[in-house]
Structure 1
Amino acid sequence: MNVKILVDSACDLTEEQYNKYGIEMIPLTVQLDNKEYRDGIDITPKTIYDAMRKGKKPMTSQVSLQTFKSIFTKYAEKKQPLLYLAFSSELSGTYQTAKMMEQQVRDEYPDAELHVLDTKCASIGYGLVAIRVAKLANEGAKMDELIEMASYHATHMEHIFTVDDLNYLYRGGRVSRTAAFVGTLLNIKPILHVDSGRLIPIEKIRGSKRLLDRMLEIMDERGIDFENQMIGISHGDDLERAEKLAARIKEKYPVKDVIIEMVGAVIGAHSGPGTLALFFLNSSYK
């Protein structure tokens, strides 16, 4: 029996992609106007972005212990191997919750082939890892091989992104009040990346004109083997700029493919509208 790949909604893949690659998705939740919604199921990212533009402040929650227990137990009872690729533990407590329930289910089902892996990734960077591992799982790869492949792609997945308004990162505790105020006042656009799961600033750009140029320069400096890998772009309700970035990448590099998706409701609730992110490997594709 093939290993089943489980992800959470912070990978920002679509229902079509889940079905295509045989991936099961478990949603995080977002609260808006005193109602709770399942990310990727009950609410669209655009609903969150439109609300944020009106000054609303959506909140998010991780996956519950009981939800993990139900899913892990289901696969243990079927004796089907399950690999859960988790959203970065530096950005959510979901991974730690899953690890707690992994041990409990293992105690109840000692023979269960159940593994939880912290990808240290987010959004489509996380999604690209899931797609690669799911393809391999569908070919019949064993658990050890899948864990090795997931770890490799997660370790070498670059996340280069910018946000339109630093105040959203401030609300989420990612930048200081002073940095958010000064950045907004001076029209400073930060370029950040994800290092070991954490958001780390790379540099600051005055205005928006040089952003795409600099993101491409960073891709050129850090990336490798573009012709064999899938490149990911995610955006906070800014498809026009995402498509412009994709077109420039295709002009410059012989890439295998570029996928563009909107940043999901849960991550978008912290990064805000206007976010633009670029994902690629900094090592040879496997």
Structure 2
Amino acid sequence: MRIGIVVDSACDLPAEFIHRHRLVLLPITVRIGEAVQADHRDEAATLAFLRDHVAERGAEAETLPFGVDQIRALFLQHLVIDYDHVFCLTITRTRSPIHDNALQASFAILNEYRPIRQAAGHSSPFALRVLDTQNLFAAQAVTAVEAVRMREAGASVARMRERLEELAGSVHGYMVTRDLYYMRARARHKGDRSVGLVAATLGSALDIKPVLHGHRGQTAPVAKIKGFDNAVQRLFDFARRRVAGGLLTPVLCMSYGGPLEELRALPGYAALRGTCQAHGITLLESVMSLTGMVNVGKGAVTLGFADADHVFDG
């Protein structure tokens, strides 16, 4: 059976990984004033857009995910012919309409695919599963990597569906941002009051950086640490301990809102990479998506891994 895997461009995976494993992308378009960029996970294009637009006016950006009709057209024009079963893995539905758009589109796709497949010479049925990864950015990528691993291992569709649905609730995402003022401005633009003025002002004045934890569709601060480098190092040290204790899948995903050379120079990065290597954990790192950067600001660090429930003790 030909199994397809679809992700949206907020899923922070390296472009090389996406191309090598034939992942299909639902691009998210970012518009800042007159500048428009569709995010196709092209790292050079993302960094150029960051330099030219995001740094100055990113908080005012509009993000335009694929709508119902665009998703329907993508499937009916290509995917119902190229594959027999597709897993569509989306960013958490609590932060984006992509999941609901894909779910709504799936009803039309499953009603309309038959004559298209038959014209292409396929008499077998087509099936589609839309799955909420319940997380963001690098953490969203963990479920996609497991889908790739299972497909390449020859797992059945039923086993993949069961495993991926179970795994989504076990993925933990963490993030440290550089600029709370930016996050507050972005939140105000979107009508989101999750970052208050007092918290942003005090945090920036005192150089306090929150460590944010994403799990099962919810995001909340789990620590407040003085200094960005210090916060990142403590997050990396915590991740090392979780890796050493044993993860549920053999991957840790990371993303950074800027050039990866800056990520690799952060304190604690080299030690985390060494711990991953020592325990057989693949470390996948990528430039953060445009969607991620306009929402959390340049220079943010995110990481994700699948693990049992735990408490951040960094």
CA deviations on 1:55-106 (whole Å, 9 max, x unpaired) are 4532211211121101222433566211111111111100001111111222
SS state at 1:44 partner: helix
In the TM superposition, residue 168 of structure 1 has moved relative to its aligned partner by 2.7
Match of 1:99 in 2: 103
Cα gap change, 1:250 to 1:227, in 2 (>3 Å)? farther
Match of 1:184 among 188, 201, 204: 204
Q: How far apart are the structure 1 equivalents of 2:4 and 2:26?
A: 13
Give the match for residue 61 of structure 1. Answer: 64
Give the direction of change, closer, same or farther, for the CA distance of 1:75–1:33 in structure 2 (3 Å limit).
Answer: same
Distance 1:228 1:194 in 2: 17
Asked if residue 71 in structure 1 is aligned to residue 71 in structure 2, the reply is no
**1:120-143 residue CA offsets vs partner (Å, 9 max, x unmatched):** 122222223212212222333222
1:44 matched to 2:45: yes
Aligned match of 1:25: 25
Is the partner of 1:63 in helix, strand or coil?
A: coil
Aligned-partner Cα distance in 1 for 2:9–2:84: 22
Greater mean alpha carbon deviation, residues 49-58 or residues 81-90: 49-58
Tell me which of 251, 273, 283 is aligned to 1:258: 283
Runs of at least 5 residues in structure 2 that lack an aligned partner in the other structure: 115-124, 310-314
Is the 1:189–1:208 contact (alpha carbons within 8 Å) kept by the matching residues of 2? yes
Which amino acid counterpart does residue 86 of structure 2 have in structure 1? L
CA contact (8 A) 2:239 2:272 kept: no
Select 1:127's aligned residue among 134, 141, 145: 141
Match in the other structure for 2:224: 204
TM-score, normalised to structure 2, is: 0.81
User: What letter is aligned with 2:198?
Assistant: T
Provide Cα deviations, 1:143-189, integer angstroms capped at 9, x if missing partner: 22111222233222221110000123221334122222221122111
| Cα distance in 2 between the residues matched to 1:179 and 1:278 | 24
Between the aligned partners of 2:90 and 2:270, the Cα distance in structure 1 is: 31
Give aligned-pair identity as a percent: 22
Paired residues of 2:174 and 2:214 also in contact (CA < 8 A): yes
1:83 aligns with 2:87: yes
Q: Deviations over 1:35-61 (max 9, x none)?
A: 332112678332343223234532211
Aligned-pair CA distance for 1:108: 3.0
Normalised by the size of structure 1, how large is the TM-score? 0.88
Alpha-carbon separation, structure 1, partners of 2:128 and 2:247? 33
Partners in 1 of 2:274 and 2:145 — Cα distance? 25
Q: Please report the RMSD computed on the Cα atoms of aligned residues, expressed in angstroms.
A: 2.5
| Deviations, residues 182-224 of structure 1 (Å, cap 9, x unaligned) | 2112211110010222221111112234213321343256554
Deviates more, 1:147-156 or 1:5-14: 147-156
Q: Which runs of 4+ in 1 moved over 6 A?
A: none
Aligned partner of 1:46: which letter? L
Q: Aligned letter for 2:26? A: I
Q: Secondary structure at the match of 2:228?
A: coil
**Which position in structure 2 is the counterpart of 1:275?**
300
